[in-house]
Structure 1
Amino acid sequence: MTTESLWRHTNQRLMAKIIAESNYEGCLAPRQTDDQGWELTLGGHVYRFRARRTVWDFLRIEPHSLTRDGEPADSAAQLVVDAQASLGLTDIVLANFLEELQNTLAGDRIQQKRLSALSAGDLLELPAAEQEGLLDGHPKALANRGRMGWGQADLLAYSPEGGNRFRLRWLAVDPALTGTHVGTAPLDQCLTDSERNAIQKELGERRDWPLVPVHPWQWDHRLQAQYAEPLARGQLVDLGVRGHWYRPQQSLRTLSNDAAPEHCDLKLALTILNTSCYRGIPAEPIAQGPALSQWLWEQSRQDPELHRTGLEVQRELAGCHVPHPQQSQVDGAPYRYHEMLGAVWRESMASKAREDERTMLMATLMQCDGQGRSLIAALIRRSGLAPEIWLTRLFDCVTLPIYHLLCAYGIGLVAHGQNLGLILRDNAPERVTIKDFHGDLRCVDQPIPEAAGMPTSLLDSLKRLPPEYLVHDLITGHFVTTLRFISPLLEDDLGFHERHFYGLLAERIRAYQADHPELADRFDRFPLLRPTLERVCINRVRFRIGYEDHAERPLPELGEPLSNPLRQPLPTGETP
């Protein structure tokens, strides 16, 4: 693929995403001109394209069909400039958004160039950590590779699509400076024996000080200057670059051990703006992370439904947060200044797989190869199973345990494609892994968790929300952000109609409900089969609040209600 053709290809893919998601969120309103023809007037210019509307009221656009005023359209940035008034962007917000888009295109070009040489089969043969570096990332966020603060060298060195690995810097922290330190960090999974011995010798009387790994970018661009005072006073001891090599996951700040994927993952502070917020390590969730994930793990072993479906919990083993000496005294400071230095040690997805199993992110099922062939279709073909049987296994081991956590325990997870791991045997779904309980786990503001035995110490640390809010986590995180992008691929590649897909899912939910009559009142409190669903909009928030600093992380908005695909009729003559 030439430089020019790669530029055109990545721009057209992003343009299709911008139009489709902005239409889904109610910001842009294309007009249908014929069976698959659409027209959109923006800033006095006419865009035309081919698309079909899915069961989620979402336009699946053919990127290479896009034209602007009758000529091939290949500039995502110009599209956004043309759409400024329709999107309600001020000049300041538009300029910042254009920077995010250009950064996204830079990452997309690297990813698409690597993908162009790989078939779906090639991608499925890759180890999970390498496979993850070739995924598209969050499908809802328009500038999902925005990475504000990174240059091209950073992109190549530290992004998942860059395909490179790196080692970490280590600091020893005076306990008097450490704000939160919980659990026992498995340092033997991060540092060699000789390195740990050398550190102990170097620290001498300070050998009991907590050790914190640091992302090399964070060290260069944030910590050396912002934590200069504790470094100068000896409250932070720089131990240099040591330990194992790591690869970045899609979330950027979470890293996989390259040589030993079964060893723990590391989640480190990375103060760059990416998608919706700065990717730091907040102090509040760290304190209860190990205890909360241990309690969830225990329920996964004791609860008959969770045990039957094989839910796996990637437990948080330890965590450490080091507040800034002065910023911590400013309560209303932008949240990024409170999250600059910290780490979480978490069990890896690979550690949950048995010898005859393999793992991949749920997001892998949304991915296509360089020729547009979907990986989920390739998996189903390899399994030898009919699509109905394969999908039944997927829904039973992924959707149902998450729904059960909500109904039986009042726990909501933001279960998007990067937070769920899929364990497969013979290319078919076997179990699901859940992770990331730092702000992505909430519980209902009713006595359901208490009745389920959740300790008060854990309950007090969690955000509690009404049922109608908590069910959004399942609908938006799993249905809208993940399944919405999987079901069209099966219709395109296997001829498996979307309505058949959701009819089958509805059948599995009804079967679960029939098996658990004791939870009947919970099904009413957390209704999944109601006629309409809430339409959660994340890009509109960025358009509205812009890029100014805020003391709190931003929250999504709601758009027009959606017709629930789980309630829509099947194609004529078909049954689930």
Structure 2
Amino acid sequence: MSTPHPAPAERFATPGGVLTLEPLALDGPTVELLHAWLTHPRSRFWGLLDADPATVRRAFEAVAAHPRCEARLARLDGVPLGVVETYDPAEVLLAGRYAHRAGDVGMHLLLAPARTPVPGTSAALMAATLRGLFERPGTRRVVVEPDVRNEAVHRLNARAGFEVHGPLPLPDKTALLSTCTRKQFEASELGDTARPVPAAAGPAGPAAAGHLGLHPMRVAHRHLCCKALAEFAHERLVHPEPVGEGVFEVRAGAARYRFRARRTALEHWLLDEGSLRRTVAGAAAEPDAQALVTEFAPQLGIPAHLLATYLEEIASTLASAAYKLVHRTRPATALAGAGFQEVEAAMTEGHPGFVANNGRIGLGVTEHDRYAPEAARPVRLVWVAARRSLSRLDTGRGLDEDALYAAELDPGTRARFRARLTGLGLDPRDYRFLPVHPHQWEHRVTVTFAPDLARRDLVLLGEGGDEHRAQQSVRTFFNTTRPERHYVKTALAVQNMGFLRGLSPRYMRDTPAINDWVAELVAADPVLAGAGFSVLREVAAIGYTGDAYHRAAASGHGEEGPHTKMLAALWRESPVGRTGPGERLATLASLLHVDALGTPLVSVHVRASGLSAEEWVRRLLDAYLAPVARCLLAHDLVFMPHGENVVLVLHEHVPRRAIMKDIGEEVAVVTDRPLPEGLDRIRHVVDPATAALSVHTDVFDGVLRHLAGLLEADGLLAAGAFWELAARCLHEVAEADPAGAGRVPLFAPRFEHSCLNRLQLLNTLQMVDLTDQAASLQYAGTLENPVAAPVPVR
């Protein structure tokens, strides 16, 4: 081999994007990635399926230490794509086993397994690698020895011009010895598809958007198209027609989408993302999520004046997905043992059901890299002083203003804030301290509330002392400096998933009292207490009301709207203090996370637990489904128990109990049962069938449908068996409360098909009226209830 030491990074332009080959650094994250790649079933021919990370590290350390071997990491437009190993076949592996020639270079390619395979990716890796090798002085022929059973790589080698010499017995396999000269490569199908390019200069001035490359965007488009087809089919907005065994087609004008798929309970579609093919007027076309929405717009029912807004949310969702493909590369196998906030930052799917699920319209590229949860950057909140007479602070039982600030702000920070006010000739006793999202300060407070700042009804105090991390909801922060301190939920004038993310001071005035009542009700229920179920209380809410927008609404000449929800915050309890020895926290949403390899995090937890999939799911249902159903049957109380609103406590990868959050905006009492004075806001009386949708829609359709699909697709548990376990769990809850079970039809043969995307498509600016959410629901007929069938006796 002509180059005993690693060459510098090389870059090649290919039809699939710019492919970079760089020296392989064996740092922790890279070893995690290599381990996940090599232990994936699709990498079986590398012979390391059962290896642990230490074994993988040692294998590549041996390559790095050998003077005639080299390993390089391949990236396509920044996305980690695989590994290229080169070696001198005269001294390594093939020494004395074949007819060696001067200038021979041995080569191994590892193409990373992909959840969303994009056509042309393996060809880009092969073409760039061969082009790079033949550009090196002394390389005359490339030698490969893949396993004879590896038909996929044989096809790729043939496309690159390799000549097959026949089977070759090696100590660990029977190889198919093949070679390729420069002339053979350049005459092949791939010979002119890669050319060297110099390193790109960094952009001058504006912030870089390096994640917006061809390859990550192709992957993002394909995945979002598959999700859109699956969820729109689930909501009966599009209607896939069978065109072959397991193959379906959807049509919209001249556009055709064909894919392999199967349908499980609750009309859940499992699409093979690599199989998706789009044609327009018979010609092959790239999957394009914005084009799909436009093509299907008449079926989707998007009002014409809101189509552009929805397309912008799709574009923002694509940009976020591309960012995660480049920057959030931790595999599920590593995340299963990671910390609470590490997992939160690694999440790649904004919501399992919504198609436009990462809108965040209003965050620029620099702000996305600074404030988005996937950026995982430390954030210090901006604090302002709000004049006491023009603001309100509401606290829960046992908490007052002084105790709140003492718990949330260090003495030095409080002293600095008071000194800022006194330095302006103001009396600190006349003000309250209000936390503000930095983006909100920069873009809204300093502009929209400029007169208030000038009057010193609002005063900038500066940054707080603690560092925080944004959660998946974007405007809620976890305190990483003092994790036992409260979450802080801020107003944020960013459009995301059908809402401008504001907070209403008027609406929040009863929030602490509502939280106190729900927490006390849950704690007093012996069944819920026995399950360890609890809630994270929102203990305090603050809002500024002294602005012109509130005055206009109060005068009757205006109304409450986005401008009256721009300066407010609330504090929510942290779950950190609720864990015992060996316990870890993870959101329910994290179980639905699927990494870039296609590995679901739930599958890693199940396999690592040592339990059967049936037993693991039973434990999860006991911790999550059973308490939610109990609250409905025994207390007429419903939550919004989607994945991000539920924090699971895990022990050795097994769910032990659940903690519910986001109580103030989402909880409801669905009958006319007595409520404490002042809590009528949460009463939303509905008929029993609609009340049951809090389980049927929010739990079954919103969470468990996706979880069952992941477990079935991964071969761990058939969907039918999953739903039998869910039925058993609910029957146990019903047996403990026969009166409630007789009133609420949880086991009805069918239930109304309430659809999330239909809500967003109908009004992309505000999906629902928070004061009457049930009236906003959009239905598409009924669904067969997967727990309605009698449960077999065991």
TM range (shorter): over 0.9
Q: 1:338: how far off?
A: 2.1
Point out the more displaced range, 210-219 or 400-409.
400-409
Match of 1:201 among 419, 440, 455: 419
1:394 aligns with 2:620: yes
1:533 aligns with 2:743: no
Contact kept, 8 Å, 1:334 with 1:552, in 2: the verdict is no
> Which residue of structure 1 lines up, in the alignment, with residue 356 of structure 2?
143
User: What is the distance in 1 between the residues matched to 2:318 and 2:294?
Assistant: 16
1:2 aligns with 2:224: no
1:556 aligns with 2:777: yes
SS at match of 1:171: strand
Contact kept, 8 Å, 1:468 with 1:525, in 2: the verdict is no
**What's the CA shift string for 1:298-317, capped at 9, x where partnerless?**
23332110110001211112
> Which residue of structure 1 lines up, in the alignment, with residue 572 of structure 2?
346
> Which residue of structure 2 lines up, in the alignment, with residue 371 of structure 1?
597
One-letter amino acid of the structure 2 residue matched with residue 211 of structure 1 = F
One-letter amino acid of the structure 2 residue matched with residue 195 of structure 1 = T
> Which residue of structure 1 lines up, in the alignment, with residue 691 of structure 2?
470
Q: Structure 1 pair 284/501, CA: closer, same or farther in 2 (3 Å)? A: farther
SS at match of 1:213: strand
One-letter amino acid of the structure 1 residue matched with residue 334 of structure 2 = D
> Which residue of structure 1 lines up, in the alignment, with residue 667 of structure 2?
441
Q: 1:512: how far off?
A: 2.0
1:242 aligns with 2:454: no
Highest relative contact order (Cα 8 Å, sep 6+), 1 or 2?
1
SS at match of 1:465: coil
1:359 aligns with 2:585: yes
User: What is the distance in 1 between the residues matched to 2:789 and 2:634?
Assistant: 27
With the length of structure 2 as denominator, give the TM-score of the two structures: 0.68
Match of 2:233 among 16, 19, 23: 23
Q: How does 1:175-190 map to 2 (within 5 A)?
A: 175-183=388-396, 184=400, 186-190=404-408
Contact kept, 8 Å, 1:412 with 1:471, in 2: the verdict is no
1:498 aligns with 2:719: yes
Match of 2:243 among 33, 42, 49: 33
User: What is the distance in 1 between the residues matched to 2:613 and 2:515?
Assistant: 34
**What's the CA shift string for 1:371-423, capped at 9, x where partnerless?**
11111111111111111221111111111111111111111101000100100
Contact kept, 8 Å, 1:413 with 1:474, in 2: the verdict is no
One-letter amino acid of the structure 2 residue matched with residue 534 of structure 1 = E
Count of residue correspondences: 563
Q: 1:23: how far off?
A: 1.4
Q: Structure 1 pair 468/322, CA: closer, same or farther in 2 (3 Å)? A: farther
Q: How does 1:450-465 map to 2 (within 5 A)?
A: 450=674, 454-458=675-679, 460-465=680-685
User: What is the distance in 2 between the residues matched to 1:520 and 1:568?
Assistant: 18
Q: Structure 1 pair 159/48, CA: closer, same or farther in 2 (3 Å)? A: same
Q: Structure 1 pair 461/541, CA: closer, same or farther in 2 (3 Å)? A: closer
One-letter amino acid of the structure 2 residue matched with residue 476 of structure 1 = T
> Which residue of structure 1 lines up, in the alignment, with residue 160 of structure 2?
none
Contact kept, 8 Å, 1:443 with 1:463, in 2: the verdict is yes
User: What is the distance in 2 between the residues matched to 1:246 and 1:463?
Assistant: 34
Match of 2:630 among 390, 395, 404: 404
User: What is the distance in 1 between the residues matched to 2:587 and 2:319?
Assistant: 23
One-letter amino acid of the structure 1 residue matched with residue 277 of structure 2 = T
User: What is the distance in 1 between the residues matched to 2:366 and 2:546?
Assistant: 28
SS at match of 2:355: coil
Q: 1:508: how far off?
A: 1.3
1:84 aligns with 2:293: no
Q: Structure 1 pair 33/495, CA: closer, same or farther in 2 (3 Å)? A: farther
User: What is the distance in 2 between the residues matched to 1:430 and 1:535?
Assistant: 31
1:315 aligns with 2:537: yes
Unaligned runs of 5+ in 2: 1-74, 78-213
User: What is the distance in 1 between the residues matched to 2:657 and 2:506?
Assistant: 30
Contact kept, 8 Å, 1:299 with 1:306, in 2: the verdict is no
Q: Structure 1 pair 323/36, CA: closer, same or farther in 2 (3 Å)? A: farther
User: What is the distance in 1 between the residues matched to 2:290 and 2:718?
Assistant: 34
Contact kept, 8 Å, 1:366 with 1:374, in 2: the verdict is yes
Unaligned runs of 5+ in 1: none
User: What is the distance in 2 between the residues matched to 1:95 and 1:43?
Assistant: 20
Q: 1:550: how far off?
A: 9.8
1:279 aligns with 2:501: yes
Point out the more displaced range, 412-421 or 78-87.
78-87
SS at match of 2:643: coil
> Which residue of structure 2 lines up, in the alignment, with residue 292 of structure 1?
514
Q: 1:202: how far off?
A: 3.0
1:510 aligns with 2:731: yes
Match of 2:333 among 121, 145, 161: 121
1:228 aligns with 2:425: no
> Which residue of structure 2 lines up, in the alignment, with residue 104 of structure 1?
317
Match of 1:191 among 396, 404, 409: 409
Contact kept, 8 Å, 2:588 with 2:647, in 1: the verdict is yes
1:482 aligns with 2:695: no
User: What is the distance in 1 between the residues matched to 2:549 and 2:769?
Assistant: 12
User: What is the distance in 2 between the residues matched to 1:421 and 1:266?
Assistant: 16
User: What is the distance in 2 between the residues matched to 1:323 and 1:21?
Assistant: 41
User: What is the distance in 2 between the residues matched to 1:242 and 1:208?
Assistant: 20
Q: 1:324: how far off?
A: 5.4
**What's the CA shift string for 1:30-64, capped at 9, x where partnerless?**
11122310101112111111111121112111222
Q: 1:224: how far off?
A: 1.3
Q: 1:490: how far off?
A: 1.1
User: What is the distance in 1 between the residues matched to 2:762 and 2:665?
Assistant: 23
User: What is the distance in 2 between the residues matched to 1:365 and 1:381?
Assistant: 13
**What's the CA shift string for 1:162-219, capped at 9, x where partnerless?**
2212111101111111145334363345433211122223334223622110000111
